Amino acid sequence: MKVLVITVGFIFCCFQLNAQAKGQSSKVDLDTIYNKVDVLPSYIGGEEGWKKYLKKNTKYPKKAWWEELEADVTLEFTIKNDGSIVDIINLTVSGWGFEEEAIRLLKKSGKWNPALKNGKPVHYHAKLTIPFRLK
């Protein structure tokens, strides 16, 4: 009988510890910058709004325009839990003013919809490629 009581008690403790561990994994640390989230961040107008924004606000670098050059610029940055964009880093080096223009566009884009993890807005580490194409 003692063995049965001890075994049941041990099993109950294991279930309790497992439940606590699961509960802890669902907590969100608001200071952490996440790479995996439940809902990705997005530009306020969605993908279509982003395309319109780029079309309206892109200033093609003059030197590149004269030389008929095109490029893709990849930026790495953090979208904070309030939707603001910080810590922009250029990952490409094509020159001709493309990188500076891409950074300007991203800074000017305003606040975004933040990423969500467990229903809460969180900081998100993002990468974005901005294409520069002549028409």
Residue 99, in any domain of the structure: yes
Q: Name which of 84, 79, 81, 76 is nearest 103 in CA terms.
A: 76
Structural domain range at position 125: 30-132
pLDDT value at residue 64: 96
- pLDDT, averaged per 10 consecutive residues of the chain (135 residues), comes to 39 41 61 96 97 97 96 98 98 93 98 97 98 93
| 16 part of a folded domain | no
Please indicate, yes or no, if residue 9 is contained in any of the structural domains: no
Q: What is the 3-state secondary structure (H, E, C) of 41-81?
A: CECCCHHHHHHHHHHHHCCCCHHHHHCCCCEEEEEEEEECC
CATH number of the domain where residue 79 is located: 3.30.2420.10
DSSP, residue by residue, 120-134: EEEEEEEEEEEEE--
Does a structural domain hold residue 13? no
Task: Report which DSSP code applies to 5.
Answer: H
**pLDDT for the residue 30:** 78
